[in-house]
Amino acid sequence: MANIKSAKKRISVTARKHERNVVIKSKLKTAIKKFETAVNDTNLELAQQELLQATKTLDKAVSKGIIHKNLAARKKSRLANRLNKLAQA
């Protein structure tokens, strides 16, 4: 356990940030899973809606500094490719 006041503060700040990050990452994973479920069910309209939601969630995570912008861009690109393959099939 920390003895110095600043170290105690860092512990509490880190714990709060960790909780926030976990919540945001969980929402992100849920949004992506919903999209993948719609794609697997070959439901094009639902997949399009879920892609928009997943993209929005990814962008929010980037703006809050939870994930890197290139990671979000890569995920959005891959999700869009899956939707395009579904639309062509």
SS (H, E, C) the chain: CCCCHHHHHHHHHHHHHHHHHHHHHHHHHHHHHHHHHHHHCCCHHHHHHHHHHHHHHHHHHHHCCCCCHHHHHHHHHHHHHHHHHHHHC
Domains in the chain, start-ordered, CATH in brackets? 15-88 (1.20.58.110)
pLDDT in tens, the chain (89 residues): 889 999 999 999 999 999 999 999 999 999 999 999 999 999 999 999 999 999 999 999 999 999 999 999 999 999 999 999 999 97
The size of the chain, in residues, is: 89
